[in-house]
Amino acid sequence: MQSDPLTPYGNKPMVTPIVSAVNYEYVSFEILKKITNGEIDGYTYHRDDNPTIRTQEKRLALLEEADDCVISTTGMAALTMVFFTYLKKGDHLLTFHDIYGANYKVSLILEKFGVEITWLNADDYDKTENYVKQNTKMIFCETPTNPLIKTIDIELLKKAANKSGAMLVVDNTFATPYHQKPLKLGADLVIHSATKALGGHNDLMAGAIICKTHQQYDELWFTRQAIGTTLDAFSGSLLERGLKTFNLRSKKMSDNAMLSAEFLMSHSKIKKIFYPGLKSDKGHEVAKRQMEDGFGGMLAFDVGDNQADAQKFVENLKIIKHAVSLGCTESLVCLPVLTTMLYMPIERRLSFGVKENTVRMSCGIEDGRLLVEDMKQSLDKL
């Protein structure tokens, strides 16, 4: 059956239309049955699926060279959907302290439901195999990690996962598919906070689960449809707009991060710096192998001797903004102790290197020389 053209003579809009409809009028019982049997991508109800969003799912799958993708309301919704879909009571999840802080909160819910969790130090990822048990069903990591930009060898983690047939899930938000494609390195699922570099303009929240197989798509679609974490069409349209410049922005953010890291290395007020692009970085060799065309736009560094020094540095910046989130057009800095790691017990946070004077920086697409000048004038005031 031919659907009505959107325009009188069938010219196609350059941008995917924003379909804000909650429900759709059925053209026939025959089509309805095909939709509900999963034979065609028809549409009935927004919580199930939406054509504006579906177009973006195909785009993201293409970017990650994957089979398909399930988009959700936020990155945390995507992560929670994956945990809820693939973990149950008595299962063991292996993960790392150095991951986005809200995962710590989700871990408390998972434990309430009887999931057993082991937290490892990202610096010791090469020992992961020693912690794999018969009931280990999932290994979850970020690489580079949030907030300390540590690199984890995805292929090595896959070997550890194979010991118990566990699923390897990688949050690729920091690297982005421009620099890294975890599915090609052995990951079974890839997560994105599309709120970050995929959207890129601080104006939308979304999450994405990149699927290796059609079966995973069906399983995760089922979870989304059940719990209602379907993204609205307007945000889907903003995501499409962001994706048009994604490659250009990713390259520029990464170039700016490299320039910033090299400058910070040379400054006496910077006590420690984490950026996989630096030869001195612990993860450099692995990052060189598993990342392409740069090392991403995220870096972290310890400023001066205490939190007051870090705060002064942030307060004196003129161009770089003090805000959470990342991967957007503007360069941002924040203190993880006051933001993403706020709810984590202090001893635990210190055990893997997040100090009270640690600053996380997300490079934007400004002229990199201006960013360096801005950091210099602020550091020189300390």
Ligand X SMILES: Cc1ncc(COP(=O)(O)O)c(C=O)c1O
Task: Please identify every residue annotated as catalytic.
Answer: 47, 100, 171, 196
Contact string 113-152 vs ligand X (x = CB under 6 A): -----------------------------x---x------
Omega before residue 13 within 30° of 0, cis: no
DSSP state letters, 121-177: -GGGGGGGGGG--TTEEEEEEESS-TTT-----HHHHHHHHHTTTPEEEEE-TTTHH
100 is a contact residue toward ligand X (CB under 6 A): yes
Q: How many residues bind ligand X (CB under 6 A)?
A: 13
Contact call for residue 356 and ligand X (CB under 6 A): no
350 phi-psi bin (left φ>0, alpha ψ -120 to 50, beta other)? alpha
* Cα(354)–Cα(200) distance, integer angstroms: 26
Closer to ligand X by CB, 75 or 304: give it.
75
As measured in angstroms, the least distance from the Cβ of 122 to ligand X is 13
Q: Give 202's DSSP letter.
A: S
In whole angstroms, how close is the CB of 74 to ligand X at the nearest point? 3
* Interface with ligand X (CB under 6 A), residue from 76, 115, 154, 261: 76
Distance CA 199, CA 112 (A): 33
42, 144, 200, 207: which one binds ligand X (CB under 6 A): 207
Does 199 participate in binding ligand X (rule CB under 6 A)?
A: no
Task: Please list the alpha-helical segments (H only) found in the chain.
Answer: 29-36, 51-63, 75-86, 102-112, 154-162, 176-179, 214-227, 233-244, 246-265, 284-290, 307-315, 346-351, 368-379
Among 50, 95, 107, 173, binds ligand X (CB under 6 A): 173
Among positive and negative, which fits the CA dihedral 23, 29, 35, 40? negative
Q: Which stretch binds ligand X (CB under 6 A): 29-37, 58-66, 73-81, 237-245?
A: 73-81
What is the smallest separation between the CB atom of 257 and ligand X, expressed in angstroms?
15
Binding segment toward ligand X, per CB under 6 A, in 3-11, 30-38, 74-82, 149-157: 74-82
Candidate ranges 44-52, 88-96, 171-179, 367-375; the one touching ligand X (CB under 6 A): 171-179
Give the Å distances, CA to CA, from 86 to 166, 213, 219: 10, 14, 9
Q: Is 205 in the site for ligand X (CB under 6 A)?
A: yes
Interface with ligand X by CB under 6 A: which residues? 74-76, 100, 142, 146, 171, 173-174, 193, 195, 205, 207
